[in-house]
Amino acid sequence: MGASAFSSPDSRFEAYGASPAPAKRDLSKPEENPPRGRIILIDTAENRLYVRHGQRILLDALCATGSGHRLIAGDRVWTFETPRGEFEIEYVTEFPVWRKPDWAFVEEGEPLPARDGDRMEYGVLGSFALGIGDGYYIHGTLYTRLLGQNVTHGCIRLSEPDLNKLVDLAPLGTPVFIF
Amino acid sequence: MGSGGRLLPAILFLGIQAPGWALSDKAGPKVEIGTHSARILQRGVLLKEIPVHRSNRDSTPPRSSRVSRLTPPRPVEEIRASQGKPVPLTSRRGVTSMPGTYAVELEDGSVLFVAPPDLIGLTWKKRSGRRLRLVLAQFQALVREVPVLQLEMEEPAAQRLFWVLRKGTEIVY
């Protein structure tokens, strides 16, 4: 895989070496035709992620989803909600590096770093991150004891074994239904 | 990952500004209220079925409308950051934090009341608070002469239904 840059439609994501995304459907328009093949279901009430093919469940995994907290710092507000609706696996990256956003420093009570390099966190997101758009991912976690709870900043966390299974089961373009 | 081979590491700018609520406007799941269950569907796929103890839904053809208001509103915990102090994230908001007794106003003017089959087992304070809230909402619906659909649901089921409801959620009833 070359080092070609890939940008998401909202230009907030940049990944080098990410898999090319398939042609995108307009997910803002409801359709009643059920998707064929595998689908990923994420139940944010029960904090479970399923991979289903028809009525067959190929993966039933404990996950962690958004806390729903609203963090306020001066005039800045962040809502840590896992978005609901229909998405799809748009890109997959291996060994993702987290560039800590401002809210992570605010949450830790630390000043924002002057150097961009000080924002980088290695090895905290697991082996893979599966992008579903708008800056949201399904990724791994170091905090496995928090799986099954609403504790994240919006992303969906999985254990490393389940994350590996998901990567094997869900190719690019797999629909993701979050509810 | 399929035929993609091994991928290079990538820097993820995740959750730079989680738009959360705005994203909820994407074609989210819809809810079909039946006599014995509430079915959560997305693009024709049944995501979840929540049992309904009893309802006054009649056999008229189903109608569709969207949620305009929830009473009480969805609880949101706000945390104010202060310089130099880590934010305490001790509370865990989850489905059990959702109300079990509530009213759902729809854009077509109908109101959906959800309450447990009985309020036995709750403390007097909780019981009276919930009853009062429900009675007030029912009174308002009566005064406004709007169609009312009543659903009796066990509290965990009612909380699960509340969890999926947002302003704009399509309800077929």
A98 touches B: beta carbon within 8 Å: yes
pLDDT at position A4, please?
A: 28
pLDDT at position A164, please?
A: 98
Decide if A126 contacts A163 (C-beta within 8 A).
Answer: yes
Has residue B115 got a pLDDT over 80? yes
User: How far apart are the C-alpha atoms of B106 and B150, rounded to whole Å?
Assistant: 13
Verify whether the Cβ–Cβ distance B9 to A97 is below 8 Å: yes
pLDDT at position B32, please?
A: 96
pLDDT at position B81, please?
A: 84
User: How far apart are the C-alpha atoms of B150 and B55, rounded to whole Å?
Assistant: 6
Residues, chain B, total? 173
Interface confidence, given as ipTM, is 0.80
The tokens of A48 are what?
């479970």
Verify whether the Cβ–Cβ distance A86 to B26 is below 8 Å: yes
Among the partner-chain residues A3, A32, A45, the one whose CB lies closest to the CB of B43 is A32
Residue A78's closest CA among B73, B28, B165, B21?
A: B21
Residue A177 phi, psi dihedral angles, 5° rounding? -105, 120
pLDDT at position A2, please?
A: 32
Window 72-111 of B, Cβ < 8 Å to A:
76-87, 89, 92-95
Among the partner-chain residues A72, A80, A93, the one whose CB lies closest to the CB of B10 is A93
DSSP A19: P
Contacts of A68 in chain B (CB under 8 A): 76-77, 93
User: How far apart are the C-alpha atoms of A132 and A166, rounded to whole Å?
Assistant: 13
Verify whether the Cβ–Cβ distance B29 to A84 is below 8 Å: yes
Q: Is B57 exposed, middle or buried (0-12, 13-18, 19+ CB in 10 A)?
A: middle
A172 touches B: beta carbon within 8 Å: yes
A69 touches B: beta carbon within 8 Å: yes
pLDDT at position B13, please?
A: 59
Between CA B147 and CA B157, with CA B153 as vertex, the angle to 5 degrees is: 120
Question: Where residue B93 falls among pLDDT bands split at 50, 70, 90?
Answer: confident
Mean pLDDT of chain B: 79
Has residue A31 got a pLDDT over 80? no
Interval A110-132 mean pLDDT = 94
The tokens of A34 are what?
């059920």
pTM of the model: 0.81
User: How far apart are the C-alpha atoms of A64 and A121, rounded to whole Å?
Assistant: 20
Per-residue pLDDT reduced to its tens digit, A20-30: 444 455 545 55
A35 touches B: beta carbon within 8 Å: yes
Has residue B61 got a pLDDT over 50? yes
